Chain A
Amino acid sequence: MAFTAFSGTAQAAEPAVRKRSPIALLLLLPGMFYLILFFVTPFFSLIITSLQEPDPLLFGEFNNAFNWQNYVIVIETYWEQGLRSIGFAALATLFALLIGYPLAYFIAITLRPFPLLQALGLVLVIAPFFISFLLRTLAWKQIFATEGPVAGILSSVGILEPGTAITGTAFSVVFGLTYNFIPFMVLPIYSILATFDLRLIEAGNDLYGSPATTFRTVTLPLSAVGVISGTLLTFIPAVGDYINASRDFLGSADTTMIGNVIEANFLVLSNFPAAAALSLLLMALILVLVGFYVKRSGTEDLL
């Protein structure tokens, strides 16, 4: 399953002795060439673009230069959206973990004696993947709409003042991000817990550990790889997302995230250097965070 991408469990069964052969090159070359042409060189394109300066005569045209001030300008202009992206994504990751871990535990361990229910549980977790990302986000928008059911109930109970919008707030954006990326949290944790030996829990209880102690000292540490993998798989797409925060979906002008800024600069304002500089800064941030996180968790062999 691709969702164990960060957990590195796939390598476990690899044979010890691999052969050296020219066939390897034949198998690797086309795909690696593709990755270099469409993944590596675009970063050089971004670097070049990010240093360009506007053409003095033609609007929307840029000339190659070494205009490093672009970086200073985008940081000065968009630091708020940048911080907001990190904050929103971190919150969404936290909530996804709070919802996702028990859910993964439930499917992998509580439902283990019932294989059919377990399979059904897994299908329910990945079900959101099968319906359009945009439509399910729009569904939340309409459920939260001022004239919608949630606002109606809340205002009739008196929690919400009538006419107050739920959408377009930080709450609705974080809510949407959490919802949309929960499966990315559940699946890697599930894949670790699914192979978890239940006798370890029995041994923990046998050795005078209360259920809580056993969970904290046995189950949780052993599922840490899944948690790390899930957090990264949730945080990375969440920090760059611009659908949930878009004003046509769950956001407003006050919830703009870095993704919205890059999109607007690239596709609407045709300010390519700004968009490129922001993309590179975002990528650098992710790499630093991932590297730091992976190093701190002591699981450098995740790759």
Chain B
Amino acid sequence: MRGFGKWAIWVYSGMAFIFLLIPIVYTIVFSFNDYRRTNIIWTGFTLDNWLNVCDAQDVCRSFGNSLFIGLVATVLATTLGTMIAIALVRYRFRFRNTTTLLIFLPMATPEVVLGAGLAAQFLQAGVPKGLLTIILAHTLFCLSFVIVTVRARVASLDPALEEAGRDLYGNPFQVFWRVTFPMLLPGIIAAALLSFALSFDDFIITNFNRGAEVTFPSYVYTAAARGIPAEANVIASAVFFLAIALVLIAQVSAAVRRRQLAKAG
């Protein structure tokens, strides 16, 4: 029974991993397809799509838009979110529960509702939809995730470290930049990456607030009806490889550091 249980979970999980990977592999493989009109049937291997990505001008332009929106929204959300996270862990203030609820609720709100709500507000206020409204919307839904991520890091920070900084003649400004901030940095970077990933891949909220502006996901959505060029697969695959590389580098360097520490200790 026990032996069977051990064996079964390896097989089951292996199948689950394959299941998770199928569409990824499919997307990457079809980025090399020598497609004619639609990129649905395999017609042969080519590197053309990778070498001339910007031949599909719409793909490239929407990708650029998504990068820009992602960067701006990430900077905004990470800054505002980090400030709130520090305040939540370190200070006492009134309306604390209301504040926590207000931070939690956007994560519990379906994207359609967030998107429709913002769109309704922009409509009533007469704000024209475009890059600005997309950035405002993205900053909103990234904010809660940033707060939650950074808050965990702040909470795990030993308050004695900051006290040691003050004790050793660091004024509040110096203590923040030399002690607190460097220690929070891994959490802040993680939050920024998460927020960029969320923004870059968002379609639903964007679709309600983009007007005529095209992001990479909204390009894919509209192109889906008439067939998607393999260049879109190229962009998605490239982003995928970049992200995986980042994660692997982080994991490996963490493992190496752990090993070094173990050796030194």
Binding site for B on A (CB under 8 A): 1-2, 4-5, 9-15, 18-21, 23-25, 27-28, 30-32, 34-36, 38-43, 45-46, 48-49, 99, 102-103, 105-107, 110, 115-116, 119, 121, 123-140, 142-143, 145, 147, 179, 182-183, 210-211, 232, 236-237, 239-243, 248-249, 258-259, 262-263, 266-267, 272, 275-276, 279-280, 282-283, 286-287, 290, 303
Closest Cβ–Cβ distance, residue A228 to chain B (whole Å):
13
Are B108 and A25 in touch, CB under 8 angstroms?
no
In the docked arrangement, what's the CA distance between A20 and B107, Å?
A: 28
A and B contact pairs by CB, cutoff 8 A, 26 listed: A5-B145, A10-B148, A11-B155, A23-B87, A31-B80, A38-B140, A39-B117, A42-B120, A45-B120, A45-B123, A115-B255, A123-B248, A124-B17, A132-B216, A135-B23, A135-B228, A136-B23, A139-B26, A140-B22, A236-B109, A242-B112, A249-B224, A263-B208, A267-B208, A283-B110, A287-B108
Q: Is B124 an interface residue (CB 8 A)?
A: yes
CB contacts under 8 Å to A, within B68-105, are 80-81, 83-84, 86-87, 89-93, 99-105
Closest to A102 in B: B12
Interfacial chain A residues near B124, Cβ < 8 Å: 45, 48-49
Query: A39, A267, A275: which contacts B207 (Cβ < 8 A)?
Result: A267
Closest to B111 in A: A240
Closest Cβ–Cβ distance, residue B151 to chain A (whole Å):
6
Are B10 and A110 in touch, CB under 8 angstroms?
yes
Closest Cβ–Cβ distance, residue A187 to chain B (whole Å):
12
Interfacial chain B residues near A103, Cβ < 8 Å: 12-13, 16-17
Binding site for A on B (CB under 8 A): 1-2, 5-6, 9-10, 12-13, 16-17, 19-24, 26-27, 30, 40-41, 80-81, 83-84, 86-87, 89-93, 99-114, 116-121, 123-124, 136-137, 139-140, 143-145, 147-149, 151-152, 155-156, 159, 190-191, 194, 197, 201, 203-204, 207-208, 216-217, 220-221, 224-225, 228, 232-233, 236-237, 239-240, 243-244, 247-248, 251, 255
Closest to B13 in A: A106
Are B5 and A243 in touch, CB under 8 angstroms?
no
Interfacial chain B residues near A115, Cβ < 8 Å: 255
Please report whether the interface of chain A is mostly helix, strand, loop or mixed according to DSSP. helix
Are B109 and A286 in touch, CB under 8 angstroms?
yes
Are B244 and A303 in touch, CB under 8 angstroms?
no
In the docked arrangement, what's the CA distance between A23 and B137, Å?
A: 27
Are B92 and A18 in touch, CB under 8 angstroms?
yes
Interfacial chain A residues near B110, Cβ < 8 Å: 236-237, 239-241, 259, 282-283, 286
Interfacial chain A residues near B12, Cβ < 8 Å: 102-103, 106
Are A286 and B208 in touch, CB under 8 angstroms?
no
Interfacial chain B residues near A276, Cβ < 8 Å: 116, 120
Interfacial chain B residues near A19, Cβ < 8 Å: 90-92
In the docked arrangement, what's the CA distance between A23 and B175, Å?
A: 15
Residue with the greatest number of chain B CB neighbours at <10 A, chosen from A20, A49, A131: A131
In the docked arrangement, what's the CA distance between A253 and B17, Å?
A: 32
Are A303 and B100 in touch, CB under 8 angstroms?
yes
The verdict on A28 contacting B99 (CB below 8 Å), with A135-B236, A143-B23 known, is: yes
In the docked arrangement, what's the CA distance between A145 and B41, Å?
A: 11
Are A46 and B120 in touch, CB under 8 angstroms?
yes
**New A-B pairs, 9, CB < 8 Å, besides A127-B24, A266-B119:** A15-B159, A19-B92, A45-B117, A106-B12, A133-B201, A134-B217, A211-B5, A242-B204, A286-B108
Closest Cβ–Cβ distance, residue A261 to chain B (whole Å):
9
Are B156 and A34 in touch, CB under 8 angstroms?
no
Closest Cβ–Cβ distance, residue B47 to chain A (whole Å):
19
Are B92 and A131 in touch, CB under 8 angstroms?
no
Interfacial chain A residues near B107, Cβ < 8 Å: 5
Are B40 and A46 in touch, CB under 8 angstroms?
no
Are B118 and A38 in touch, CB under 8 angstroms?
yes
